[in-house]
Amino acid sequence: MEMEEKIYELRKLVQDKEYTIQELEKLKPIPDGGDVAIKYREVISPSEQTLKLLDEIDNLNKMLAKVSKENNKLQAENQELTHKNMVFVLLRREILTIIVF
């Protein structure tokens, strides 16, 4: 009886290790004997794939809107600084003209 329990425990341990190995194989490719990597892929239906792609498109559109908004803000700031720089240059010329004459 004691021997049967030990065999049962060892079989259970082997099954647990096999499951762990299978999970690792899904995550990381394992080269076989011919130096070919084996990679498992998640198999999904076309409708699931479409939903995932639509979500990704939506996320990318949100990111694009955010970047566009930031770009517009920076362009406005750049125009403001350019205007201030032109005013500064004109005032400096005016001051130099007054000092010289």
Q: List CB contacts of 32: < 8 A, sequence separation 6 or more.
A: 38
In the prediction, which pLDDT does 39 show?
A: 57
* 56 plus 86 within the same structural domain: yes
pLDDT in the model for residue 11: 85
Domain that holds residue 83: 44-101
| Statement: residue 29 has pLDDT above 70 | no
CA dist 44 → 6, 54, 56, 89, 100 (Å): 41, 15, 16, 64, 80
The pLDDT tens digits of the residues spanning 53-93 come to 999 999 999 999 999 999 999 999 999 999 999 999 999 99
Per the structure, how many domains does the chain have? 2
Question: Does residue 51 share a domain with residue 92?
Answer: yes
The answer, yes or no, to whether residue 19 has pLDDT greater than 60, is: yes
Residues 21 and 69 reside in one and the same domain: no
Q: Tell me which of 87 and 29 has the higher pLDDT.
A: 87
The whole-chain average pLDDT of the chain stands at 84
In terms of pLDDT, which residue wins out, 68 or 2? 68
Work out the average pLDDT over 46-55.
Answer: 86
| pTM of this structure | 0.47
